Chains A and B, each alone.
Chain A
Amino acid sequence: MNSLIVNNPRLPRLSSLPRRRQGRAGLVAAGMVAAVVLLPILTIIAVALTSSGEDWPHLLRYVLPNALSTTFVLLLMVGVGTSVIGVATAWLVVAYDFPLRRFMAWALVLPLAVPPYLAAYAHAEFFHFVGPVQSMIRAWFGFTRPADYWFPDIRSTWGAALVLASVTYPYVYLTTRVVFLMQGRNIADVARTLGAGPSRVFWRVLLPVARPAIAAGVALVLMETLNDFGAVQHLGVNTLTFAVYSTWLNRGSLEGAAQIALVMLVFVIFMIVMEQGARHRQRFHSARATQMKARPPRIKLGRWASMGAIVATGAPLAFGFGIPLYIFTDYAANRLHQFADPRLVEAFVTTVVASSATAIVAVGAAIALIFSLRMRRSRWTLALTRIATAGYAMPGTILALGLLLSLARFDNTLDSFLRAQFGISSGLILSGTAAAVVLGCAIRFLALAEGAVQSGLMKLPPNIDEAARSLGKTAAGSARAVLLPLVRPAIATAAILVFVDTAKELSATILLRPFGFNTLATHVYENASRGAVEEGAVAALMIVVTAMVPVILLSGRLMQDRDA
């Protein structure tokens, strides 16, 4: 199996197997997951529809055009920026050899540990008039006032794009690097033996091959960008998400906010289609073990080219990880006692526990979705899968609000039923407990888990489970015995991604948490919302370090697997 196997995306099915009975369980499972995800979304749609519509003329005329164009420009800048950074860095560390290459290949993933709102706080401080950069410029040139020189304003759309791109490019880097390492290298070799030069190989062969992976990564980046509220609010950029909050909180119009959220759903659907479409074209199945043996030597770079490569890979790392780390370490140094603060320790434990629980729930749901799709690929299961991953791009607070309204209704209905029938009270068993937070985050990050497990599964030749089934295993049985063990690394990756994102998550947690439920993120936010970012610096560092551990594990495993 040294060769590349390109398969039809519609997986072949052994026609002799009894189809119906086997598929139904999967369909039911996918349906249940989709129903849970749809619950908050439908609730928001219902809220949107109950409005009188009196706010629409105002929103259409004064709010939406500006918010739409700002959002569009931001998405464009972040999308282009992360594609360039992600592809360029992936290509550099895969194809060339230069000092620090191994370190860079591994470290380029680190910005994933920095949530966008923290990055925005840090960049705003770093590039501010009284921050280190401008202070140095003034000291060098003897300036004293802002009017003396020109310096770009980080609190702007391009500033927000810089911040968001610098922490989200790893999504593109990760997906693209895998392709360059696995299939791409082999094709590149073939092209090279046919006489193509390095740049021709890159543009004509590798880039087209990596396109689906790039698109999948960019889709995640764009969803994260669309969803972000903390960073754009801090940097004063009025996106659609900002308009949702401002309409809800300042105009007191939940209905109007829900309606803008529906406009956002259009963007979301576009991105889901783009991502799924990209994945469909990514139909390479290859045996991992044999790929490594065929690895051609890296091209060794000269001294100047090496320096260029170090700068090119180091810059994204500096922006996405270095600056936040520097700022928060600097502030935390004045507050070392906080590390032992019992409230922070408790918040840390809560963060780890809640993130772990969310990872279990989300990965479980993702496995159910994917295997139902594998067992019986129909238009229905496909549609249900797409619906189930829509939560990722809904603004966290809107999703959480929809969930809160529906869960509270469920709780109250159950409670009054139990009271009437048996005289006991169940209280707010879902909406008043940590279950709401876990469920909210699981819905938000199901798309991540699904994507990771799916891409692991796609690397397996489809005939593996077909073989098991032809030997008499049922679909579910072959899935358990054959597929599940094989995709275990992908499942671990999925769990790690969900863990990290939940640890960083803020808006859904703030809205859904019960009494006494404090995470590191809520701790930082409580400080930042009263304008004291520095007081939250210790907690911010703890978030970054917590999120770093699994990111390093993930990065390390990728290196071991494919890069040894």
Chain B
Amino acid sequence: MRMLSKTLAAGLVALGTVSSFSINAAQAEGTVNVYSYRQPFLIQPLLDAFTEKTGIATEVLFLDKGLEDRIAAEGENSPADVILTVDIGRLINVEEKGITQTVDSETINENIPAEFRDPEGQWFGLTTRGRVVYASKDRVEQDTITYEELADPKWKGKICLRSGQHMYNIALFASMIAHHGEEEAEKWMKGLKANLARKPNGNDRAQAQGIFSGECDLGIGNTYYVGKMLTNEEEPEQKDWANAIKVLFPNSEERGTHVNISGMAMAKHAPNRENALKLMEFLASAEAQSIYAEENFEYPVLPGAEVSEMVQSFGEIKPDSLPLEEIAAHRKAASEMVDRVGLDEGPES
């Protein structure tokens, strides 16, 4: 017991130091505080490059739930400077919650095409990621496909999917609603459900694994997961999963493939506004854009920025030109539709 209480006492002292340290770091000069929905591992190379270039230190807080609610609750005292997130819905969310501020920077506006940023400057897209179809190299002969076709009975029992409530799928379904209307989209979703090979689960990587194992012939996933698997040196079997699939860009002969974005916004009460702006300008720069592309296998939004060789090898992507705000507007309907259709309950057996 005495040992225990001594340890605890030492612990408390250390805790005090840790917490006061983090407060100081958040308020000190020469830092910028990032609240991120993106995993630190994904953005660390970018932040390191930024620090090296400007001498400004970065602090990242990864939150995958409640980021908006937290910043809103913290109010004027919030240490948040820059918000990083994936998914257009989230970007619209932060804007609607009133936790962002207008950024009007010539550098940023020149680099990021208008269709990938908010007209008011409340948020900016940084990368795009295609929501593509993974198909078995062995068992699927065709090299083109449409999202609509996924509801075709010829695929019965052949499609793998992650949870229909996952934001990547919700955005895809929202785009189907935007293009076809709710009624048609629901019919389509019912068809998709009937074609499932199993109950939706796992992440995008698990869908590739399902194709590798022969559980299904088609899966829906984001482009960059394929790159991540192909370069996984520590678990080389993932290369086999990735090698078992080919990437099909749906609807590339007509309206284009559904793409989502990752993006950034400046927090409304950013205490380090100057530094925040520097970071945002850096993230939009050609240098950062190509790091993004190289490290994460995503598509840079900056026209002309180098796309990684690996991503180029998947083929050319033609993004759907439907405005992202319109997709975001149908998100709630899409989520309710998933419940209504019972997509996550899997195929009826």
Contact = CB atoms under 8 A, between A and B. Distances in A.
Contacts of B331: 250-252
Given A254-B69, A516-B59, A130 B209 contact: yes
Contacts of A259: none
Nearest to B21: A516
Interface in B192-210: 198-206, 209-210
B73 A409 contact: yes
A83 to B, nearest CB: 28
Contact of A515 (B26, B165, B166, B206): B26
Given A238-B344, A251-B335, A522-B62, A359 B8 contact: yes
Interface string A458-493: 000000000000000000000000000000100010
Contact of A526 (B8, B27, B41, B74): B41
Interface in B6-28: 7-8, 11-12, 14-15, 18-23, 25-27
Interface stretch (B46-54, B75-83, B107-115, B313-321): B75-83
B23 A514 contact: yes
A234, A251, A405, A513 interface centre (most CB from chain B within 10 Å):
A251
A356 B7 contact: yes
A492 B26 CA distance: 37
A409 B25 CA distance: 23
Contacts of A235: 201
B63 A511 contact: yes
Given A353-B14, A412-B76, A510 B25 contact: no
Nearest to A238: B344
A353 B78 CA distance: 25
B339 A62 contact: yes
B18 A350 contact: yes
A434 B19 contact: yes
Given A251-B336, A349-B14, A356-B8, A155 B70 contact: no
Given A63-B339, A531-B204, A144 B77 contact: no
A153 B198 contact: yes
A529 interface: yes
Interface stretch (B212-220, B250-258, B274-282, B301-309): B212-220
B201 A236 contact: yes
B106 interface: no
Nearest to A253: B332
Nearest to B27: A427
Given A252-B332, A427-B77, A401 B39 contact: no
Interface in A489-535: 492, 495, 507, 510-511, 513-517, 522, 526-527, 529-532, 534-535
Contact of A534 (B40, B202, B204, B235): B235
Contacts of A510: 62-65
Interface string B253-273: 000000000000000000000
Contact of A514 (B22, B199, B205): B22
Interface residues of B, number: 75
B25 A129 contact: no
B234 interface: yes
Interface in B112-166: 163, 165-166
Contacts of A360: 8, 12
B336 A62 contact: yes
Contacts of B310: none
A187 interface: no
B246 to A, nearest CB: 19
Contacts of B64: 510, 529
Classify the interface of chain A: helix, strand, loop or mixed: helix
A251 B201 CA distance: 19
Interface string B164-207: 01110010000000000000000000000000001111111110
A249 B68 CA distance: 10
A329 to B, nearest CB: 14
Contacts of A527: 39, 41
A495 B23 contact: no
Nearest to A514: B22
Given A130-B209, A404-B73, A433-B19, A526 B39 contact: yes
B35 to A, nearest CB: 9
B304 to A, nearest CB: 28
A511 B65 contact: yes
A515 B235 contact: no
Given A359-B8, A526-B62, A404 B201 contact: no
A397 interface: yes
B231 interface: no
Interface string A410-452: 0110010000000001011001111100100000000000000
A357 interface: yes
Contacts of A155: 198-199, 201-202
Contacts of A331: 235
Interface in A284-342: 331, 334-335
Interface in A137-152: 144-147
A382 B209 CA distance: 54
A514 B15 contact: no
Contacts of A400: 66
A344 interface: no
A487 B59 CA distance: 45
B8, B39, B228 interface centre (most CB from chain A within 10 Å):
B8
Contacts of B77: 411-412, 415, 425, 427-428, 432
A405 B66 CA distance: 11
B7 A236 contact: no
Given A248-B65, A526-B62, 7 more contacts: A146-B213, A234-B201, A353-B18, A357-B8, A408-B70, A516-B25, A530-B42
14 contacts: A58-B339, A129-B210, A130-B237, A156-B199, A245-B65, A252-B331, A252-B332, A350-B18, A352-B11, A397-B65, A408-B75, A415-B77, A432-B26, A434-B19
